[in-house]
Amino acid sequence: MSAIELHHVRKIYDNDVAVIEDMNLEISDGSFTVLVGPSGCGKTTTLRMIAGLEDISEGDLLIDGVRMNDVDPGDRGVAMVFQNYALYPTMTVRGNIEFGLINAKVPKDERDRRIEEFSRIVGLSDYLDRRPSQLSGGQRQRVALARAMVKHPKVFLMDEPLSNLDAKLRAQMRTELIALHQRLGTTFVYVTHDQTEAMSMATKIVLMNNGRIQQADEPLAIYGDPANRFVAQFIGVPTMNVFERGSLPVLDLPDRAVWVGFRPSRVLFAERVVGSSPSGARELTEAHTPEHGDLIFDAAISIREIMGSEIVYQARAGFGDVSFKTFNQPQVEVGTRVRLCVDFASLYLFDADERRVVA
């Protein structure tokens, strides 16, 4: 078992600024939980409190039902992987992986067995005699992972471990971390500001802002059923379009609805438009037939980003700029005037406090 519980946890620094406010969170045994949010939201502070690197000002932290507030970091059964890898430059890969085991007085035969096992898992068997300076960024991150894994921790804590890698390697390492979690079955707690990492890797996302949890749920629930406007606009690329109700064409909405939002992927052409295929041939886009109650508006294409089978547009409407995207459709030129629509069921409503309103 390696469940983690935070009960009414607060973190207050010497200047009386509360970084974490009344946090209540349960991290299930064996889950891949991702703490995500903008810079300064408190996600890394939360991770460091779990690790024991930050004191808890108020509240309780439990691991496996045992209160950990005053337990030393080395006695919590957790291992942490840092953003900057924190490798010893003068030691070989083997030395870096082995260092913690030596300090823990693990017998040499057992050390060798663990090093062989986990270096093989992360693909480092041929690099054990190299130093960190002789490795790529991805290989250094694997050393940091292997160093954590050989300790057989109850919990892996990872603080933006992929942020120093290029985009291609980040995508590869995301896949490898998912596979590693499935293989080990251990609890992972992972911090990132990158929603792509959160959505693709997590079994549970904890979205934070200003020291508070905005929503904690499975990735598809966070995306499809956001609790408030912040969640709705943080998750999703491009971000959700949100406008004041009064600026939009008349809609039959609940009185409490002050803000209206819709995902770019839910914006459809209400009329067919002449576009062009990649070969330059002129084609007509597909068109959706609006129904009573749908949001319908005219706009002019102002920006177009071609992403392969997906095209992302920005269009100027009478009430503001609207982002939308098409899939496997002809490309529409900048400057083209179009009629767009969003079906009523795809609208998200928020009240004056930006909390979700269900129609």
Which among 123, 82, 116 has a CA at the least distance from the CA of 101? 116
> So what's the pLDDT on residue 309?
87
Residues of the chain with pLDDT under 70: 1
Which among 82, 88, 83, 117 has a CA at the least distance from the CA of 100? 88
Helix (H) or strand (E) segment spanning residue 12: strand 4-12
Give how far Cα 114 sits from Cα of 120, 148, 281, Å.
Answer: 10, 11, 60
Output the CATH code of domain 4-233: 3.40.50.300
Which among 301, 354, 304, 322 has a CA at the least distance from the CA of 249? 322
pLDDT in tens, 215-264: 999 999 999 999 999 999 999 999 999 999 999 998 899 999 999 999 99
> So what's the pLDDT on residue 1?
57
State the amino acid at position 348 in one-letter form: Y
**Against a cut of 0.75, is the pTM above it?**
yes
State how beta strands 320-327 and 337-342 pair. Answer: unpaired
> So what's the pLDDT on residue 260?
98
State the amino acid at position 273 in one-letter form: V
CA distance 54 to 249: 51
> So what's the pLDDT on residue 278?
82
Helix (H) or strand (E) segment spanning residue 178: helix 167-184
| DSSP letters for 18-83 | EEEEEEEEEE-TT-EEEEE-STTSSHHHHHHHHHTSS--SEEEEEETTEE-TTS-GGGTTEEEE-T
> So what's the pLDDT on residue 225?
97
> So what's the pLDDT on residue 104?
87
Judge residue 337's burial from the number of C-beta atoms within 10 Å of its C-beta, 0-12 exposed, 13-18 middle, 19 or more buried: exposed
Q: Which residues make Cβ contacts (< 8 Å) with residue 207, sequence separation at least 6?
A: 36, 37, 198, 213, 214, 215, 216, 222, 230, 231, 234, 235
> So what's the pLDDT on residue 277?
87
What's the alpha-carbon Rg for the chain, to the nearest Å? 25
Structural fold of domain 239-357: OB fold (Dihydrolipoamide Acetyltransferase, E2P) (2.40.50)
Do residues 137 and 106 touch, judged by C-beta distance below 8 A? no
In DSSP terms, 222 is beta-bridged to none
Q: What are phi and psi of 185, to 5 degrees?
A: 65, 20
Domain boundaries, the chain: 4-233, 239-357
State the amino acid at position 58 in one-letter form: E
